[in-house]
A and B are shown apart, each in its own frame.
Chain A
Amino acid sequence: MLVSYNWLRNYVNLDNVTPEELAEKITRSGIEVEGIEYLAPKSENIVVGYVKSCEKHPDADKLNLCQVDVGEESLQIICGAPNVGSGQKVAVAKPGAKLPNGMKIKKVKLRGVESNGMICSLQELGLDEKYIPVDVAEGIFVFPEDAEVGVPVQELLNLDDAILDLDVLANRPDALSMLGVAYEVAAILNQPMELPDENLTVDESIEAKDYIDVKIDSIENNPYYGAFIIRDVEIKPAPLWMRNYLMASGIRPINNVVDITNFVLLEYGQPLHAFDYDQFGSKQVVIRQGKVNETMVTLDDQERQLNENNLVITNGKEPVALAGVMGGADSEVTDETTNLLLEAAYFNSASVRHTVKQTGLRSESSTRFEKGVDPNRVKRAGIRACSLLQKYANGKIAGGVVEVDELDKSEKSVTVTTAKINQRLGMELDEKDVTSVLSRLQFEFSKNGEEIIVQVPTRRLDISIFEDILEEVIRIYGYDHLPYTIPQGWVQAGGLTDIQLLQREIKNYLSSAGLMETLTYSLTNEKDAKRFLTPDIEEKPAYSVGLAMPMSEEHSHLRLSLIPEMLRVLQHNVARTQTDLAYYEIGKVFISREEEITNQPIENLHVAGALTGLWHNHPWQQEKKPVDFYVAKGIVEGLFAHLELNVTFVQTKMEDMHPGRCAEIRLNGKGIGYVGQVHPLTAKDFDVKETYVFEIDLESVFAVHQLTPSFTDIPRYPSVTRDIAFILDNDIPAGDVQAVIKEIGAPLVKEVSIFDVYQGEHMEEGKKSVAYRLLYQDPSRTLKDDEVDASYQEIIEKVNNQFGSYVRS
């Protein structure tokens, strides 16, 4: 809401407060002033002049030579505006004047003829192009005839005004009107206020009811409709002061009738609509819901398709306006209009909201209806408009208003006590502190012992309970008076849950392991949402969750995997020559098990990693280690070792992954993730080079993880190591043999590690040598050689039997 400081002065005395001070006070009391704009404060030495004569410049077709009376003197001025003419009163920048754009006016010669000043347009005087009335948009501004020659234009054109931009939130629709702001400012400044003139002299010879009838078929959406009749209006420009205030408030003046309805809209916060009575099409206003297949052409010349959710104003036959949103083209006020039907009505906010959402038409009117208007101001606004139409359009006001009125205009009452207010604020206010705020807000109240019964004016739709009055008291009294305290009483030990601690631990590990945490979007495109699924998701049919109305295809579906967006992050960095990257992320994936979603999806926390480029690079020592499968797997193994959980890795095939370089990660036999190389074709899709990724379902980890590890005594007896190298067929996984050795060797074999893998020269075709180191240990005694030897022989025998291998000599 743009609030003109000069306009506001009509209702509240602002003599002792500058626009800046006022803005600060309003902000601190509840409505944020987002900015202050001065219209054109720097205009100097610009006065009203009278164009005595206007002739063509002897040497230039498009220039006029004007003799202009500026009061003390007469100036010869050359003017190029097409609309200049003798007898006009115009804005003259005299020599020495300075325009808001910084231009200084000097005496000059134009094509040999002297010009001693400049006749100005409103643009040149600093007004915003889009608010300038159409009739003077293409040339100089022409004052009304009664403008006094020689008077500075600054005040006359309201150029010294300061415009306060109020950010009015949904709870304060009252501040969408000058009167509402005036009540607020009067309370803040503790000043009395003056209300506008609503006096009206009606023409006794005409009766509104002879011209119009009102019928409402949809009373819940339209509980009040008042129809005023104004005859014989003279369409012309509105008075200058009104046009000034409209321009200052961001509304372009049109003509007196339209300007008056807009002026009252801003003043009272009550939208009005003026129909051309003679074009209305009947003598009856019927308000009803729209019909399917019904259409109408609105003021903006658009044909609108209606339905039963639109409230429409009709002439009994066809719609003439979308109630509270926009009028129809046929009954629009034009220069030829002489008789008016003025509508002052109360439209239900939900109904207007619906039409606005459907049509996308949001206007000064619809915004106010949507947020709610003061039921007690609807009719008064109509009267105020009639009074102005009488004065500034020479209209004859018909007696009586034709109305249907089932509107609840009663005031709410709210009971408070000073003690309860103090209890909730943590303060010690006196009763008079409370009642003084109520008086400043012009809320009536009565007392009953300790109780203060507050009558809430209907302009304040936001106030209905104790807490609302509490807020009024503290915001006007001042938040700065609140003390600083910390909640007393109940105490608990704060802290993180085991699962939250575990997440931090996983981040500690991955960060220390050299991976950088990323944060990517949960929303991705439809195709990528369903790629790189972990085995636990693949178990059953899984569907990605799509938005009903996405803003773009890139962010239309919730992810089932963290990897695609992480690959996009890699791509972003690689494209900026950052080629060696190791990233991880912990975030949710969203799994729906329904083809048509009806329930909230399953949200599982995942951890994922993506690595590309060099893992280690020490150039001058010629040490370069690119990321490979085993780097990625090592990180995963390290993670589970850190978490003290045993996982196994099984060769697997996944779409989007290298067919020979991908392992499923299993915890207690259940697939919970994968690690491997991104398929080269997929990598190409994402515009990345050789890339390794892993992703693990953390919910499966949380389910089995014990946060407190149990104590194992440090071994006191020596261990024994034995090495064996098996010659195996190439396709036998070394890990399978490792697992079997461990199984056979238990419980004496504590660890089995692989320390050499060899293929190639001196090796039979299709065979490989894998060397294992076995660590024997017993926590309670020193092992004897012969028992170790026996175990060792048993292992060799059984492995050879199972895998068809033999020991390398």
Chain B
Amino acid sequence: MKEELQAIESEALAAVEKAEDSQALQEMKVKYLGKKGSLTTVLRGMGKLSKEERPIIGELANNVRASITEALDAKTEKLERAALDKQLETETIDVTLPGNPVHVGGRHLLTSIMEEIEDLFIGMGYEVKEGPEVETDYYNFEKLNLPKNHPARDMQDTFFITNELLLRTQTSPVQARTMEAYQGNRPIKMICPGKVYRRDTDDATHSHQFRQIEGLVVDKNITLSDLKGTLDVFAKKMFGKDRKIRLRPSFFPFTEPSVEMDVSCKVCNGEGCSVCKQTGWIEILGGGMVHPRVLEMSGYDSTVYSGFAFGMGQERIAMLKYGVNDIRHFYTNDVRFLSQYHQA
């Protein structure tokens, strides 16, 4: 009986090995393991065996059943996998064809620049203030130490609406409004971004509408060195950590002393090239110590408080940072320009 079982096993394993489809495997399962299968038939003769032989043959029979079942399962899986492989082969596509386009829009380059500057100063503890674009003469000029008939008013050609109303020529009135709102009794750390307007004919470097961002810090004991240090942080963050800055004296009616800040040219690394007009330096922004009259006019005691202010054109920063060669690109909104900078 032992021999019979072994014969069934080797016959079955050989047959499974040769099977070519699942149909044949199914038939073999019936033939060897089914109720009328050869293994069952052999086991029917178990009763004739001695008490000692019965467990031995029983175990052998179970092993044979397991071995055939395992072979059948393995072969089934193998055949199914082969069938799947064949099917997948037929499903091959041309992966070089383009995928479905996903349209992502994006922010305007100037928005990206503005948010970058805002975030930089927010990180240093500044709040972001805004104000009206149609301003009064009082806040746009007089509160900034530019009384009527002051010659420095010529520095900015103004779009007037009435004698008292105008399109703001600078974001500085927001500084005046903030100082006034705080009534001279608390320190200030703020930036104010926004649109400004001047009577300029639009060309490659001028725009009748542009955007500024200004900063103001007022506290006891604010120094000119604080302004220099702050601008150095700004310049290195915006233009790269290897940039150097320098301050030059300048004139703005609302600051005294007034300075302009240059950043070392990144194209030539300060050696002198056509971008920096051979000077090695590029003018970036203006600033200075808040004029005591400006502090006093907004209720700050200039013997107790001092402050610094600075302001820049966002377009200029963007043009220098990204090499944009014509300010009109920002306002023409050609999709081929906008899509170069889409940072969603």
Interface residues of A (CB under 8 A from B): 27-30, 32, 169-172, 349-350, 353, 370-372, 423-427, 465-468, 470-471, 474-475, 479-480, 482-497, 500, 504, 507-508, 510-523, 545-551, 555, 558, 569, 572-573, 576, 578, 581-584, 587-588, 590, 597-598, 600-601, 603, 615-618, 620-621, 623
Residues of A close to B330: CB separation below 8 A:
519
Q: A500-B130, A517-B105 are in contact. List 13 more A-B contacts (CB 8 A).
A: A467-B292, A479-B247, A479-B259, A482-B247, A484-B225, A489-B220, A494-B126, A495-B127, A511-B104, A523-B209, A573-B334, A578-B335, A600-B135
Inter-chain CA distance A441–B209, complex, in Å, is: 41
Minimum C-beta distance from B137 to chain A (A): 11
Query: How many residues of chain B get a CB closer than 8 Å to chain A's CBs?
Result: 88
Q: Which of A372, A424, A517, A576 contacts B106 (CB 8 A)?
A: A517
Inter-chain CA distance A568–B103, complex, in Å, is: 22
Residues of A close to B160: CB separation below 8 A:
547-549
Residues of A close to B132: CB separation below 8 A:
600, 603
Residues of B close to A171: CB separation below 8 A:
152, 251
Complex contact A572–B332 (CB within 8 A): yes
Inter-chain CA distance A355–B163, complex, in Å, is: 19
B21 within 8 A of A: no
Complex contact B249–A578 (CB within 8 A): no
Complex contact A482–B228 (CB within 8 A): yes
Complex contact B334–A576 (CB within 8 A): yes
B273 within 8 A of A: no
Complex contact B233–A486 (CB within 8 A): yes
What are 29 of the A-B contact pairs (CB < 8 Å)? A170-B251, A171-B152, A349-B149, A370-B151, A372-B151, A424-B289, A426-B225, A470-B257, A474-B257, A483-B225, A484-B225, A485-B228, A489-B219, A492-B125, A492-B189, A493-B125, A513-B105, A516-B338, A518-B108, A519-B331, A522-B133, A522-B197, A523-B209, A545-B134, A546-B161, A548-B161, A603-B132, A603-B134, A618-B101
Inter-chain CA distance A600–B208, complex, in Å, is: 20
Residues of B close to A523: CB separation below 8 A:
159, 197, 208-209
Residues of A close to B249: CB separation below 8 A:
29-30, 471, 474-475, 479
Residues of B close to A350: CB separation below 8 A:
149
Complex contact A486–B230 (CB within 8 A): yes
Complex contact B306–A424 (CB within 8 A): yes
Residues of A close to B159: CB separation below 8 A:
523, 547, 549-550
Minimum C-beta distance from A239 to chain B (A): 35
Residues of A close to B126: CB separation below 8 A:
494
Q: Which residue of B lies closest to A470 (CB)?
A: B257
Given contacts A426-B225, A512-B104, A517-B106, contact A583 B233 (CB under 8 A): no
Inter-chain CA distance A371–B336, complex, in Å, is: 47
Given contacts A479-B248, A517-B108, A583-B333, contact A504 B226 (CB under 8 A): no
Complex contact A479–B122 (CB within 8 A): no
Minimum C-beta distance from B312 to chain A (A): 17
B82 within 8 A of A: no
Minimum C-beta distance from A97 to chain B (A): 30
Q: Which of B105, B133, B292, B336 contacts A578 (CB 8 A)?
A: B336
B31 within 8 A of A: no
Inter-chain CA distance A404–B246, complex, in Å, is: 49
**Binary interface encoding of chain B residues 155-185 relative to chain A, with 1 for a CB under 8 A from any of its CBs, else 0:** 1000111100101000000000000000000
Complex contact A551–B208 (CB within 8 A): yes
Number of A-B contacts (CB under 8 A): 252
**Binary interface encoding of chain B residues 97-115 relative to chain A, with 1 for a CB under 8 A from any of its CBs, else 0:** 1101101111110110001
Complex contact B223–A424 (CB within 8 A): yes
**Binary interface encoding of chain B residues 249-291 relative to chain A, with 1 for a CB under 8 A from any of its CBs, else 0:** 1110100111100000000000000000000000000000101
Q: Which of A551, A600, A618 contacts B100 (CB 8 A)?
A: A618
Q: Which of B98, B130, B219 contacts A487 (CB 8 A)?
A: B219
Q: Which residue of A lies closest to B258 (CB)?
A: A471
Inter-chain CA distance A718–B233, complex, in Å, is: 57
Q: Which residue of A lies closest to B191 (CB)?
A: A494
Complex contact A169–B155 (CB within 8 A): yes
Given contacts A467-B291, A512-B105, contact A548 B162 (CB under 8 A): yes
Inter-chain CA distance A553–B181, complex, in Å, is: 38
Residues of B close to A551: CB separation below 8 A:
199, 201, 208
B10 within 8 A of A: no
Q: Which residue of B lies closest to A555 (CB)?
A: B208
Complex contact A521–B331 (CB within 8 A): yes
Given contacts A508-B344, A620-B97, contact A490 B107 (CB under 8 A): no
Complex contact B128–A496 (CB within 8 A): yes
Residues of B close to A491: CB separation below 8 A:
125
Residues of A close to B199: CB separation below 8 A:
551
Q: Which residue of A lies closest to B124 (CB)?
A: A494
Q: Which of A490, A587, A617 has the most CB of B within 10 A?
A: A490
B47 within 8 A of A: no
Residues of B close to A620: CB separation below 8 A:
97-98
Residues of A close to B105: CB separation below 8 A:
510-517, 582, 584
Q: Which of B107, B111, B224 has the most CB of A within 10 A?
A: B224
Complex contact B333–A600 (CB within 8 A): no
Q: Which residue of A lies closest to B194 (CB)?
A: A588
Q: Which residue of B lies closest to A500 (CB)?
A: B128
B229 within 8 A of A: yes
For the complex of A and B, the 6 pairs showing the least CB-CB separation, nearest first, are A426-B223, A426-B225, A471-B257, A30-B249, A514-B103, A484-B229
Q: Which of A479, A511, A623 contacts B342 (CB 8 A)?
A: A511
Complex contact B225–A425 (CB within 8 A): yes
Minimum C-beta distance from B305 to chain A (A): 11
Complex contact A590–B134 (CB within 8 A): yes
Q: Which of A169, A353, A489, A497 contacts B221 (CB 8 A)?
A: A489
Given contacts A370-B151, A486-B226, contact A32 B248 (CB under 8 A): yes
Inter-chain CA distance A584–B107, complex, in Å, is: 9
Q: Which residue of A lies closest to B107 (CB)?
A: A517
Inter-chain CA distance A216–B162, complex, in Å, is: 35
Residues of A close to B118: CB separation below 8 A:
496
Inter-chain CA distance A617–B103, complex, in Å, is: 10
Residues of B close to A479: CB separation below 8 A:
228, 246-249, 259
Residues of B close to A578: CB separation below 8 A:
334-336
Residues of B close to A474: CB separation below 8 A:
224, 249, 257
Minimum C-beta distance from B245 to chain A (A): 9
B3 within 8 A of A: no
Minimum C-beta distance from A492 to chain B (A): 5
B76 within 8 A of A: no
Residues of A close to B162: CB separation below 8 A:
548, 597-598
Complex contact B336–A520 (CB within 8 A): no
Residues of B close to A487: CB separation below 8 A:
189, 217, 219, 222, 226, 230
Q: Which residue of B lies closest to A617 (CB)?
A: B101
Given contacts A507-B107, A510-B105, contact A371 B151 (CB under 8 A): yes
Residues of B close to A555: CB separation below 8 A:
208
B136 within 8 A of A: yes
Residues of A close to B253: CB separation below 8 A:
170
Inter-chain CA distance A494–B117, complex, in Å, is: 13
Minimum C-beta distance from B114 to chain A (A): 10
Minimum C-beta distance from A689 to chain B (A): 15
Q: Which of A372, A519, A520 has the most CB of B within 10 A?
A: A519
Complex contact B122–A494 (CB within 8 A): yes
Complex contact B165–A597 (CB within 8 A): yes
Complex contact B136–A511 (CB within 8 A): no
Complex contact B151–A475 (CB within 8 A): no
Inter-chain CA distance A688–B217, complex, in Å, is: 48
Complex contact B229–A486 (CB within 8 A): yes
Minimum C-beta distance from A37 to chain B (A): 14
Inter-chain CA distance A471–B292, complex, in Å, is: 13
Q: Which of B187, B259, B289, B333 contacts A569 (CB 8 A)?
A: B333
Complex contact B221–A423 (CB within 8 A): yes
Residues of B close to A601: CB separation below 8 A:
134
Q: Which residue of B lies closest to A475 (CB)?
A: B249
Residues of A close to B338: CB separation below 8 A:
516-518
Minimum C-beta distance from A29 to chain B (A): 7
Inter-chain CA distance A213–B195, complex, in Å, is: 56
